[in-house]
Amino acid sequence: MAGELRFLDILSALSRHKVDFVVVGGVAAILEGAPISTFDLDVVFHRTPENNARLVAALRELNASYKDPAGRHIVPDSSKLDSFNIHLLKTDLGPLDVLSRVGDDLFYEQLLDRSIDYEVEGLRLKVLNLETVIECKEIAGRDKDHAALPILRRTLELKRSAGD
């Protein structure tokens, strides 16, 4: 159903197609224990020709198209994935933001050292650690990021004090 948020199903499609990606943003913060909500799934993908092809296949399965104010139906392809850094997409399972980098030019390769391996419902995921989520939200500086920062910082404090 269009408009329904089914992040796990989106992640399943990406995983099924063997896309190399790291979960970032609000979903990463939630998996790290932050009591926040989010309305889209953000991932940073490994920008290689082989991975782009796998990502395009997954996006095709998800019936992805760009959010376009003019209402045009523009579908992502390898050329667009190579050309743009931010892909704001709508899918049949909910909004998906596909990014080539976050923060201060943290690409997939740099994010691997800042990620935690999670298993969620049988899916093996790389998830950005909470420290880096906070850093990226500080850099982004949007109102919604500023609103979430106190909760994210407190969650990090609690995780550290609990020895996580």
112-124: per-residue pLDDT in tens?
Answer: 999 999 999 999 9
What is the fold, at CATH topology level, of the domain defined by 7-159?
Beta Polymerase; domain 2 (3.30.460)
DSSP labels, 120-158: ETTEEEEEE-HHHHHHHHHHH--HHHHHHHHHHHHHHHH
Q: In this predicted model, what pLDDT tens digit does every residue of 82-120 receive, in sequence order?
A: 999 999 999 999 999 999 999 989 999 999 999 999 999
* Contacts for 84 with CB less than 8 Å, ≥ 6 apart: 100
Please give the pLDDT value at position 160: 93
What's residue 79's pLDDT? 95
pLDDT of the residue at 2 = 44
Q: Are 118 and 31 in contact (CB under 8 A)?
A: yes
Tell me what pLDDT residue 141 has.
Answer: 86
State how far the Cα of 148 lies from the Cα of 153, in Å rounded to an integer: 9
- The torsion angle over the Cα atoms of residues 101, 104, 109 and 115, rounded to 10 degrees, is -90
